[in-house]
Every structure is written in C-alpha cells, then in structure tokens.
Amino acid sequence: MYIAHIRESDHSVQTVRRHLLETKQLAESFGAKIGVRHLSGLAAMLHDMGKYTKAFRAYLIQAVRNPDAPPRRGSVDHSTAGGKLLFELFHNDNSNPYLAALAEVIGNAIISHHSYLHDFVSPANTSPFLQRVRDKVDIPEYEQAKHRFFSNVMDETSFRKYAEAAAAELQAFLQRTNTETTESKLLFLTKFIFSTLIDADRTNTSKFEEEESISRSYDHISLMEACYTRLINKLSTFQPTNEREAVIHKLRGQMSEQCERHALERPSGIYTLSIPTGGGKTLASFRYALKHAIATGKKRIVYIIPYTTIIEQNADELRRLIADDEHLLEHHSNLVDDMDDDEALDGRVTFRQKMKLAKDNWDVPIVMTTMVQFLNAFYAYGTRNIRRLHNLCEAVIIFDEVQKVPLHCVSLFNRALNFLKTYGQSSLILCTATQPALDYVEHKLAINAEGEMISHLEELIQAFERVRVIDRATDETFTTEKLCHFVKAKLLEVRSVLVILNTKSVVRKLYQRLTESSDKQSVPVYHLSTAMCPAHRKHILEIVKKHLHNGKPVVCVSTQLIEAGVDVSFDCVIRSLAGLDSIAQAAGRCNRHGRNGIQNVYVIDHMEEDLGHLEEVREGKEVARKILIDLKLDGSAYGGKLLSQQAMERYFTEFYDKCKGRLDYFINDLRQSMITLLMSRKKDHPYANSYKILHGTLPLYLVNSYGTAAEYFHVIENDTKTVLVPYERGKEIIARLNGYETIADLTQTLRQAQQYAVQLYPHEWQRLDQSKGLVTLLDGNLYALKESAYSKEYGVLVDNDGKMETALF
C-alpha cells in the first residue's frame, strides 16, 4: 500500500490512488469553469505520482514513528516525477505541438506545487524547469512509480487519450481570441491550472485530515435571489425628510434601476460605474451584481476595495442587508507569511502544514477583499495567494474606488482583468466617481464599447454638487502650527472639521498639537491612521459618526484611509495637496448628503510632509497643482470646476503619461519590467537570447520567468509584515492562537484575527524588534505586539514606550 498522507489524530492512511483520483475530480470541476477540465485534471492526477515509491513510504512511516527526530523534510523528492513523465511522453512529439506545449504548462504546475512556478529561463541563463523535468536523474524509483501509476490510477492507453483531450482544450484556449499574445495566454492559463491544482490538493488533504466526507456547497442562485429580495425591501424603506433629500433619493433610485437593467440587458464584460460621490454606489453595484449573477449563473460576488477601512464599513452594511454572516467573507490580509518549504505538505500534517491548509480560498458566495490581495492572487510568490485565483472566474467582481490601483501595477491589473473577461466568464465593474484612464495606457484595459452603466453623467454630477473647492495651495504653504490655527478658526464657522494629510507623522503631529492647545474649546479631537488595527479604526469612526449624527462639534485628523468610500459627512474638509482623485474623494466626506447647501473644501500645501518615499503621491501632487494653476489663470478652464470630468480626464492622462515608464512594474535590480519577464515572445526575451548563446539551443516553447517575477512582486513597494495587536478582543485572539489544533478552528481564528492586525514597514519592524516590542506566536509563524507597544490614541508605538497604566487595557 503506497501512502499519500497519514492522519495525525489516529494514524489512518490515505492511499496515493485515492488522493490522486479525488484531487483529479475536484480539479476537473474547477477547470470546467473556463473549459480546461482535462488540463486541470491532468495536473492533479500526476502531482503526487512520486509518492508511488518505497522510499517515500518508508520516509513517511519513519516521520510518524519518530516525531521528535523525523527524517529531513523533503529528503525524498515526490513532485518531480509527474512533470518528468509528461516531458518524456509528449515534449518531443512532433505530431501534436499542443501535446508538447502541454508538457511545459502542466509540467511546471506539477513540479511547483510545494513552492511556486519555476522559471523556464532565469536571469542566470539557466532553465530551472529543464533542470527538474529533463536533467534531474536522482528521482527515487522513477520507473517503478510510472508502472504503479499506470497500474493503479489510469492505464497508459486511457492516459494518452486523456492527455489528447487536454491538448485539444489547450488548442481551443489559444485560438479563442487574437487580441493577446500566445505567451500572455499561456501565462494566465498556467497560473489558472496551478491555482486549481493547489486548491484541489490542499482541500482534499484538509478533508482527509479533518475526516470530512461531504464537500461544502452552496445553492448560489437561491442565495442571490434571497439577497436581492432583501435589498429591494431595504431600498423601499428609505423616506426623505426634506425636498433636497427627496431629489437625491429619486436620482439614486434612477441610477440603481439603470444598474439592474444593465445587469439583464448587457453580457458579462468590463464596464464602468461612475456614480457621483453620495449617489449610493455600494447598494447600486450590489444590485447589479445580484441580478447579473442570477441571470448568468455566476458563482460569487467579489468586492475589491483599496483600504481595509472600507471593507469593514461595506461588509457591515451588506451583512445587515443580507442577514447572513456565513456566506460573506472579509479577507483583509494574509496574517502568516507563506512558507517556502519545498515538499512541505509531504504527507504528515504537522502544525506548519495546518498553517498552509488553513489559508482561505475565497470559495464563499460573497467575498470582500483588498486590491493587494486581488493582485497577489495573480502575481505574488508562494501557494497561499494563487490558490484563490480560479475562484475569481464565473464571478461578478466590483472594483470599488478603482482609481486607487497602484501606479506600478496598472499594466498587470489590466492584463488580469482582460483574462477574467475573455476566459474567466466574469463580469468586472470599475466603480468610482473618478474614473482613471485605464484604456489610455499602452497595455489597455478592454472596457466594453459603450461601457458606462449610467447615462447623463454631467447632469448627475451637477445635481449632486454640494461643495466648493478653495485653493490655498498654489500661493502659500502651511506648517503644523499654522494648520492648527486654521482648524480652530474654521471651528468658529462650522461644527465639524476633517483634516486629511499625506503621511502618518504629520497626522500624529497635528493631532498632538490640537489636543495640547491651551484653547478651552471643548471640541473632541480624534486621530486615524494605518498604525491602528481595523477594529480600533472602526471604533474611532463609530464615535466620530455619533458626534456628527448628533450635531456635536468634532475634529478628525486622518491619513488618506478615510477619504475613499467611508460614509462620514463633515461640515468642512481640509485636504493636503495630492492627486486630483484624492482631492475629489476627500470632498466626498464633506456635506455628503447635501443638507447644508454648499460647504467648503480647502486644498492646502503642508510643507512638513516628507514625500520622499511616496513617489506616486508626489507625482499626483505635481499634476494636480498644474490644474489648480490653470484654473487660477482661467476660471473657465475644465468647465470652471476642479472636480469636473474634463479636469479628471486631463489629470489621469497627464499622470499616466508622466509615469508611463513605471506602469509595467519595472524591477530595478534586473533592469527589466514584469511585463517583459512574464509575457514577452521568445525572440524578445532577454534571458532566452543569452541562454541560446551559452547553451547553443533552447528546446522550449515558453521561456518566461514566472518564479523570478513573483519573487520581485510586491503591491506595496516597501514590503510590509503583519503583526497582531493587543487591542480589546485582540488580546484574547493572541492567547487562543497557540492553542488550536484543528484546521477548521485555526481558519476561523485567523479570519477573526484580521480585525486586530497592522501592516508594518521594514523600518518600523526593525525599531520594534530593537525595542523588544514583539512576541512570536504559532511556532514563530506569526508576530504580536506587547501591550506597551500599542496606544489607544496612535496605535502602534514603534519604540515600545507606552505606559501600561495609560494603555487600553
């Protein structure tokens, strides 16, 4: 009996045959979404063929019998054999080039299923792929493993027929459209296959370990229909209290109805939803998503959001609406770094393996996550992220505040969306009042013709106008002291002021100066920044909203996290000069519902902000300043309004022109772009030419550097680490995380822990480490702050200098 896994609890055995066939069946169901059932099934059927050896069986039994002194992990290679078999059987088959190409696409997924996709050609002018499938000779009992596979899993004749069916799928996939290069198509196909393999393998292993016999499934259509009914009932209950609200309510209703008509009348594709700020885009986009999912049989709705603050708010709104917590997932971040253990899931499910199995795969009907996590699913290193990719197919995906796509990721974002549109059977909605020009750049987004969902936009923008933008940035600068006096002066005119600045340091400095002021005005001041965990920010926002609702005086000083999508309405907003989209979003936090006529938004230039590491903010600030100067010189420019559609179009086209060298994610260390590494043709790939000169020939269809590109990919250019904080329930979660044993419990706890996590930049991490403000959890796989390193006012204290008696606890 050849063993795939041994259960930790009772030492029951899962045979290799059972694991391969069950994983194949699951992967086939995933692959069917885009018409590659056999391609996914082939990868799954072969991935653990190398476990059909006496060497692996002995290794596994020894590991279980000697848990305190197990054999070296990965000492028996079991992931190469399946890829080597495909290469031997098909790569040199001149009768069918699709079988030969299949050996590269599927073979790479198989040999990589415990790490990440290999480079076909690397910067060192080697081929890690060929080194595994062609050149590696020390594979235990390879010939015997082949024989046992064909004897127990599928006979060789049937296997060849199955592979030919997979090759036919590959041919159909490549011929479906001519708008993308073959290399681009094969990139996303390989990643999709890899995703189905990882998820099927991890899911089957988890089910065996947890003794689950029934797969979780959802009646998607019934769930969406129930949610739609609740939504319509909710929309019908709103009663305006005055004439202004009645007009706004009517316009919101018209836009919401347009979204529903669009859902029914237009095919799946890429569309823009440019509802003005305050126009109810969250519920309108949800109405579209539900109706389109019902009409087209989509499996899930995914909200992609720039900041975790908006996830919390929108998730709460939708959760109250659908009255269903089980089917809605908030996924903020990966709390545990991916573990680069080749052969890590080798058959014995230890604690580190549970950490991998507990990763969420977005298989619930409604997912709310961040732009970082979306892009990581396509491009980041490791198996944790890409496991989720296939669940972005057959979905309605709403990109809320899409203008926040990081500049260096624009081309990669566009290519991912084009794949989901063309092959993934998904519908993608770009939802914002400030649409970026994503169809203007070189690697264009394939937005559908007549893609805007809302008609008569200019008239709607005028109808929702409720602020006046006042330029205080082109002729003067502000210090913290000057800004403090300016805020206090505004409080003599209005009851509530929101100040949004570009860096955490100046936000904290202004907050301290306002709270230390000798002025006896009893106006509470609150501070918000990403140094606070989501639960902490949510608590502060609830207090601020209560003040605003009751008409009480209040000041809030925040970084940009508050400006995109957070439902607050201040009498006055002061925004430090940044990109025009940021100014527009900040204006959306002022007089949000138009109840107080026209209110003022002040744009200032804060001279103490250090934007040295915030290149994107700095570039956006320069372009916005030019537009402000244009308006100062000619009051009729851009329709006479800073936030007009003409001004926004000018801003994004000039911004992208100014930064076009960075849109393709340029890797300085390699002097190459991600687009070049991932998608260039063989004749244009820099490493392919060098390889041929060095080795004389390059016997591969694909030459792209998948692994190298992933290693260099970070959505946030300064890579961050996640740390849990002891804020309120965070203390309890930190205590619990070292005690759970089951995968289900660990998964649930990690989900809850996201509300109590903060992202730290390397310099912040270093200072906390030096000040001994960190503790380790989960055998060193997760970190938490000591109580003295977290403050009820500022969040993370990188110098660990908080006093226990004044802390939160």
Residue with tokens 């000039």: 654
| pLDDT of res. 173 | 96
Q: Where are the domains of the chain?
A: 3-210, 268-334+358-460, 465-661, 721-806
**Rounded to an integer, what distance in angstroms lies between the CA atom of residue 678 and that of residue 685?**
9
**Rounded to an integer, what distance in angstroms lies between the CA atom of residue 304 and that of residue 696?**
47
CB 444 within 8 A of CB 179: no
Fold topology of 3-210: Hypothetical protein af1432 (1.10.3210)
> What is the arithmetic mean of pLDDT over 717-726?
80
- Band the pLDDT of 456: cuts 50, 70, 90: confident
| pLDDT of res. 313 | 65
pLDDT, tens only, 111-125: 999 899 999 999 999
| pLDDT of res. 213 | 63
530 vs 679, which has greater pLDDT? 679
**Rounded to an integer, what distance in angstroms lies between the CA atom of residue 142 and that of residue 138?**
9
| pLDDT of res. 344 | 40
pLDDT, tens only, 490-528: 999 999 999 999 998 899 999 999 988 755 457 899 999
DSSP secondary structure string for all residues of 725-762: --STHHHHHHHHTTT--SHHHHHHHHHHHGGGEEEE-H
DSSP secondary structure string for all residues of 481-535: HHHHHHHHHHTTT-SEEEEE-SSHHHHHHHHHHHHH--------EEEE-TTS-HH
Report the range of poorest mean pLDDT among 83-97, 147-161, 271-285, 350-364.
Answer: 350-364
Fold topology of 465-661: Rossmann fold (3.40.50)
Burial bucket for residue 137 (CB in 10 Å: 0-12, 13-18, 19+): exposed
- Band the pLDDT of 743: cuts 50, 70, 90: low
**Rounded to an integer, what distance in angstroms lies between the CA atom of residue 140 and that of residue 54?**
9
Please list, in sequence order, all residues whose beta carbon lies within 8 angstroms of the beta carbon of residue 465, skipping any fewer than 6 positions away. Answer: 598
- Band the pLDDT of 803: cuts 50, 70, 90: very low
Question: Which DSSP letter does residue 119 get?
Answer: B
**Rounded to an integer, what distance in angstroms lies between the CA atom of residue 243 and that of residue 569?**
19
Read off the pTM: 0.86
pLDDT, tens only, 784-797: 999 899 988 889 99
Q: pLDDT averaged over the chain?
A: 87
**Rounded to an integer, what distance in angstroms lies between the CA atom of residue 497 and that of residue 553?**
8
Share of the chain above pLDDT 70, in %: 90
**Rounded to an integer, what distance in angstroms lies between the CA atom of residue 403 and that of residue 410?**
10
CB 271 within 8 A of CB 430: yes
Please list, in sequence order, all residues whose beta carbon lies within 8 angstroms of the beta carbon of residue 680, skipping any fewer than 6 positions away. Answer: 183, 704
- Band the pLDDT of 292: cuts 50, 70, 90: very high
CB 745 within 8 A of CB 700: no
Q: What CATH code would you report for 268-334+358-460?
A: 3.40.50.300
Strand ranges for 44-161 from DSSP E: none
744 vs 80, which has greater pLDDT? 80
pLDDT, tens only, 552-567: 999 999 998 888 767 8
CB atoms within 10 A of CB 105: 26
CB 783 within 8 A of CB 777: yes
DSSP secondary structure string for all residues of 331-388: E---SSPPP--TT-SSSB--HHHHHHHTS----SSEEEEEHHHHHHHHH-SSHHHHTT
Tokens of 605: 């230039």
Same topology, domains 3-210 and 268-334+358-460? Answer is: no
- Select, from the ranges 299-313, 324-338, 487-501, 767-781, the one with the highest average predicted confidence (pLDDT): 487-501
Tokens of 81: 């054999």
74 vs 133, which has greater pLDDT? 133
Tokens of 238: 């709103």
Which candidate, 602, 501, 484, places its Cα nearest to that of 559? 501
CB atoms within 10 A of CB 278: 19
| pLDDT of res. 355 | 47
* Helix, strand, or coil (residue 564): coil
| pLDDT of res. 339 | 45
Q: Is the dihedral of CA 337, 300, 193, 76 positive or negative?
A: positive
Report the range of poorest mean pLDDT among 240-254, 269-283, 447-461.
Answer: 240-254
| pLDDT of res. 807 | 24
Give one word for 284, left, alpha or beta, with left for phi > 0 and alpha for psi -120 to 50: alpha
| pLDDT of res. 142 | 94
| pLDDT of res. 419 | 96
